[in-house]
């Protein structure tokens, strides 16, 4: 199942996304109808590279390719230089992004820039299984535990379900990136009636 939301005392809430989509890909805007970290961004510019060229995401999350300059770049799925028909989109106009939701089962999706594949302008999207999260609270200390995903993790905490703004921060799990627990010694403790939102995601 999708990462779980669990109710705890009034100041704590685990919210893994604010929109869960199924079926065909739909248009989304990070921070508006889905949590910002759920849409991984890859940019292209005058260099013959995708920045970054590798994204690791959970099944159901998104990649957005965003052109920074006018160009003839594309994002085209398939083994280098051989399109497989899953997607192909121009990245030639600044402000015109291409966003795709990856609903497929865990696997690796290679992609490339069609005009520049011969210059090794390639990338890949690695889709993992879902990360199942539980949250417990004891005397104001929140403990997160989880399983699934790609094996290396990051914890994101925010005061809003869009995971944007100055009170959004990223942490390393207890014991390092491969850990499956996180103890949040939140200082200062959120005010009574406030909420804290958590995401556990694959480490990039």
Q: Is 42 exposed, middle or buried (0-12, 13-18, 19+ CB in 10 A)?
A: buried
- 116 and 151 fall within a common domain: no
User: Reduced to 3 states, what is the DSSP secondary structure of residue 38?
Assistant: helix
Claim to verify: residue 68 and residue 100 sit in the same structural domain? yes
pLDDT of residue 189: 65
User: Range of 172's domain?
Assistant: 6-18+129-202
Q: Do residues 98 and 41 both lie within one domain?
A: yes
Whether 95 and 76 map to the same domain: the answer is: yes
Q: Is residue 98 part of a domain?
A: yes
- The answer to whether residue 100 is domain-embedded is yes
Please, are residues 186 and 196 in contact by the beta-carbon 8 Å criterion? yes
Q: How far apart are the first and last CA of the chain?
A: 22
Cα gap 80→108, rounded to integer Å: 13
One domain for residues 124 and 40: yes
Asked whether residue 28 is assigned to any structural domain, the reply reads no
Let me know whether 121 and 51 are in one domain. yes
Average pLDDT over residues 132-146: 90
Our measurement of the distance from residue 103's CA atom to the centroid of its chain's CA atoms, rounded to an integer in Å, reads 13
pLDDT > 60? residue 177: yes
- Tracing tokens 């060229």 back to the chain, one arrives at 53
For the entire predicted model, the pTM comes to 0.84
Interacting residues of 4 by C-beta distance below 8 A, sequence separation 6+: 14, 16, 132, 133, 134
pLDDT in tens, 28-75: 889 888 999 999 999 999 999 999 999 999 999 999 999 999 999 999
Does one domain contain both 85 and 136?
no
Domain boundary among 128, 153, 183: 128
Domain-located, residue 11: yes
Domain final position from 128, 157, 174: 128
pLDDT at 128 over 90: yes
Q: Where does a domain end: 128, 161, 186?
A: 128
Q: Please name which of 125, 104, 132 lies closest in space to residue 201, comparing C-alpha atoms.
A: 132
The enclosing domain of 155 has a CATH number of 2.60.40
61, 110: one domain: yes
- pLDDT score for 130: 97
Q: Is residue 27 domain-resident?
A: no
Whether 24 is in a domain gets the answer no
Identify whether residues 123 and 140 lie together within a single domain: no
Q: Is 135 found in the same domain as 124?
A: no
Tens digit of pLDDT for each residue in 64-117? 999 999 999 999 999 989 999 999 999 999 999 999 999 999 999 999 999 999
Question: Could you please report the per-residue DSSP string of 44-94?
Answer: E-SSSSEESSEEEEETT-EEEEEESS----EEEESSTT---SS-EEE--ST
């Amino acid at each position: 199942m999708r990462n779980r939301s669990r109710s705890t005392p009034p100041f704590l809430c685990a919210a893994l996304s604010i929109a869960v989509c199924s079926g065909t890909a739909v248009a989304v805007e990070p921070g508006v109808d889905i949590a910002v970290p759920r849409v991984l961004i890859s940019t292209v510019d005058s260099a013959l590279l995708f920045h970054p060229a590798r994204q690791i995401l959970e099944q159901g999350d998104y990649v957005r390719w965003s052109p920074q300059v006018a160009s003839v770049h594309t994002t085209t799925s398939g083994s280098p230089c051989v399109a497989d028909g899953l997607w192909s989109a121009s990245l030639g106009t600044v402000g015109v992004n291409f966003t795709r939701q990856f609903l497929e089962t865990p696997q690796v999706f290679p992609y490339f820039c069609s005009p520049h594949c011969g210059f090794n302008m390639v990338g890949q999207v690695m889709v993992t299984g879902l990360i199942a999260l539980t949250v417990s609270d004891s005397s104001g200390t929140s403990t997160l535990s989880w399983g699934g995903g790609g094996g290396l993790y990051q914890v994101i905490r925010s005061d809003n379900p869009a995971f944007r703004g100055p009170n959004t921060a990223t942490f390393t799990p207890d014991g390092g990136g491969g850990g499956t627990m996180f103890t949040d010694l939140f200082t200062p403790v959120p005010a009574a009636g406030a909420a804290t939102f958590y995401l556990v995601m694959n480490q990039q």
